[in-house]
Amino acid sequence: MSAMDKHREERARQFRRLTECGPDSDMGKLLRKFWQPIELSENVELDSAIPVKALGEELTLYRGASGKLHLVGGRCAHRRTLLHTGWVVGEEIRCIYHGWQFDATGACVNRPAEKDTGMPRTKIPGYPVREYQGLVFAYLGEGEAPEFDLPRKPLTEREGVVIANGMERWDNNWFQQVENSMDAVHVSFVHMALTVGPFGKAVTTSIPELSYEETSAGIRQTARRSENNVRQSDWTFPNNNHITVPGLTPEDPWLDVFVWMLPNDELNTTRFMIYSLPPEASEASKMRFRSYFAKYGKYDPAAHHDELFRSRVWKNPEDTFVGLTAAQDYLSIRGQERITKREDEMLGRSDAGIVMLRRIFFRELDLIREGQEVKQWKSLEQPVVLPTQPGAEEEGESVKAPTSMAQT
């Protein structure tokens, strides 16, 4: 093998550390230090169970008779059949195969065919869960769960906000999507490619000067297009982005959007969204928001893979918001392959955000590998002010290029 091939192979080996997520990998251990969204609340009915895959682990999510959600391992401890195919009994779950029953901590509490031989000491996993604004979050780490603190929680908790959720199951590695959040240049191209809708209209083709700085919560991105056109956004470690986007019509206020990229496994990623319409929105605006999401909120570009890659034409002209933006991002991100070959890239100056992102991750992964304390990330005391509707709360500044939006 030539020296160049060896070098390439070594780079590939390093980059692989960024894309893993299983419990034994450094990245898997790092990601398990954070609450992660794993499902939409509405998908788990009372007294029923569904399978969930998160961070490479098969899991069973079920809603007990009390309405409370519980999360345990995906397979029965006896002979490993899938637990979600069984029955929910009170707050416990019973296996379909021979009736072993497990409580919410994963302890076996009943083995009907074993008479009085006692219970096995080994448990299946059991994890804390909580529901928040339509999403189900879980803590898959060891020991006590950290405080449930999401970036800018208060924004979505204001009296009178209207919330909608999104969930898209993309068939590519999660880290490509995280990198896309640190890529302000893509907005000027990807989201202009089909120049329609509020997204296309609100971005400009002028390419910003970019700078990045590490904060207590993640990375602050500054995109400067001119003296009075400077936009900042705060990305939250390890896999959350908060952006603002124009409303459905020019009369509607801008929306806050929170996006998480959950690795289901190395080749699949679920994007979870909270869309939040501010309380000051008019009744007409709230109605528009609700009916739009009822009609178009379930679009998933991955379900249209072949059609999108073949035609690159947006066939749904009425939906120029969620669906169009997702389709545009999907074409560029999924187009990099399911796991992109970073060892073959050629980065430029404008990729400074991606370089910083990777450097931070590598630093944290090294700490994990050495068994040391990782950085204690915490919410920003002073997050940057994100763009709002032109004229709404602006002081004479032009809002032509909200670069912090659409970087999803």
Q: What residue ranges bind Fe ion (CB under 5 A)?
A: 329, 406
Residue 176 vs 276, nearer CB to Fe ion: 176
Name which of Fe ion, ligand FES, none residue 329 binds, using a CB cut-off of 5 to 8 Å depending on partner kind. Fe ion
Q: Which of 97, 296, 314, 362 binds ligand FES (CB under 6 A)?
A: 97
Q: From the CA atom positions of the chain, what is the Rg in Å?
A: 23
What is the rounded distance in angstroms from the CA atom of residue 93 to the CA atom of residue 108?
10
Measure the CA–CA gap between 146 and 161, rounded to whole angstroms. 27
Give the integer Cα–Cα distance in Å for 55 and 125. Answer: 14
- Cβ at position 100, least distance to ligand FES in Å: 4
Q: Taking the complex as a whole, how short is the minimal distance between the CB of residue 254 and Fe ion, in angstroms?
A: 16
User: Min. distance of Cβ 99 from ligand FES in angstroms?
Assistant: 6
Smallest gap from Cβ 203 to Fe ion, in A, equals 10
98 binds ligand FES (CB under 6 A): yes
- Give Cα 38 distance to the centre of its chain: 9
> Is residue 338 within the footprint of ligand FES (CB under 6 A)?
no
CB 257 within 8 A of CB 245: yes
Which residue, 120 or 146, is less far from ligand FES as judged by CB?
120
Task: Work out whether 130 is an interface residue with ligand FES (CB under 6 A).
Answer: no
Binding letters toward ligand FES, positions 27-46, x by CB under 6 A: --------------------
Residue 359 sits in the site that holds ligand FES (CB under 6 A): no
Q: Which of 16, 53, 78, 224 binds ligand FES (CB under 6 A)?
A: 78
The token pair that represents 52 in the structure block: 């969930």
Scan for tokens 């809603």, then name that residue: 63
In angstroms, give the least distance from the CB of 71 to ligand FES. Answer: 18
Query: Which member of 18, 49, 54, 95 binds ligand FES (CB under 6 A)?
Result: 95
Tell me if 304 contacts ligand FES by CB under 6 A: no
Footprint on this chain of ligand FES (rule: CB under 6 A): 76, 78-79, 81, 95, 97-100
